Structure 1
Amino acid sequence: VSPDGRWICYSRASDTGGYDLFVVPFYGGESVKITKCGIGYLKLDGGDFSPDWSNNYEWIVFSGIRPGEKGIFKVKVPDEFLP
C-alpha cells in the first residue's frame, strides 16, 4: 500500500509468462501494469513478491527470484501515482 493509502501494488502472472507488477486504486478501479515482463528494464520471468512503496513515494521495492539471481529489486513509480 502506498504511504498515503491511495494505491496498492501487487504482482500478478502475466499472459506472456513470468510476473508483472500492477498498481490499482485502494478502493477499486482499473489496474495499471508498471513493469513489462521479459522486456526492457525489468525482466520478471521468475517470481516477484512483497512489493512495497518507499517512504518518499519514488520507488517500489520487491523481492525477486530470477534465473541465476535473487534479491531485492526496485522500480521507479510512474508520475501518475505520485502525490
Structure 2
Amino acid sequence: MSNTPHTLGEEFPDQMDKIHALKVSDPIFAQLLATYDEVNDEIHVAETNVQPTSQDRETELRKRRLSIKDQIAEALSQTA
C-alpha cells in the first residue's frame, strides 16, 4: 500500500507530539491508536479493491473509524 488516507498525521497534524506522549504513557490510548490503524488499513484495502468488500461493510468500517477518531480527539482534548 502506498498512501493510506486518513492517517493520524493527516487527521491531527498539530497534535502528533501529544499523541506520541499519550501513546507511551497510556496503554488504553495506545490500543485505541492501534485499532484506528487496523480499521483504516482495512478501509484502504477495500477502497483499492485489493480485497473487495461489500458497500455495507465499507460503510460500517468508516463509521467505526470515525467513532475511534472521535475517541482520540476526546482523549487529546482532556490532556493539558
The alignment's TM-score, normalised by the length of structure 2, stands at 0.29
> Bigger radius of gyration, 1 or 2?
2
More strand by share: 1
Larger helix percent: 2
Higher relative contact order (CA 8 A, sep 6+): 2
